[in-house]
Amino acid sequence: MKTLQHCVIIALVGLILAAIIGCDNDSGDRPPPPIGPFRPRIVMEEDTIYLKPNDWAATNGAVIAEDESGNVGSGYHVDLTVAPLGYLEYMNPILRDTTDEMG
């Protein structure tokens, strides 16, 4: 489960970077240069990925955008879309358990 959580974090970081620098995937053009150097961070609680019906997973988290000085910006609008990372199935359907020997 932690490996899946790490994959989700990696995917979200890429999407957040694209959203903050204004990347428009529909136009096919190169993204415009960043307005300023931001370091987006994702804050997530550990082991909080929840399986939802129809092979969806959800987690709670927050996106924080900081400038070079470490000042947290406010008022940013970030749109995120996360592609499926893999098929999730229960290892033990009766207990609704998704963990295995690897965690």
**Residue among 54, 48, 61 at smallest CA distance from 1:** 48
DSSP states of 20-61: HTT--TTT-SPPPPPSS--EEEEEE-TT--EEETTTEEE--E
In a domain, 52, yes or no: yes
Residue 23 lies in domain = 1-98
**Residue among 60, 59, 53 at smallest CA distance from 88:** 53
Total of domains in the chain: 1
pTM: 0.29
In a domain, 1, yes or no: yes
In a domain, 103, yes or no: no
Q: How does pLDDT run across 16-48, given as a tens digit for each residue?
A: 544 444 444 444 555 444 455 566 666 666 666
Q: How does pLDDT run across 83-99, given as a tens digit for each residue?
A: 555 555 556 656 656 55
Taking the mean position of all CA atoms in its chain, how far away is CA 96? 24
In a domain, 92, yes or no: yes
pLDDT of residue 5: 47
In a domain, 38, yes or no: yes
pLDDT surpassing 50 at residue 7: no
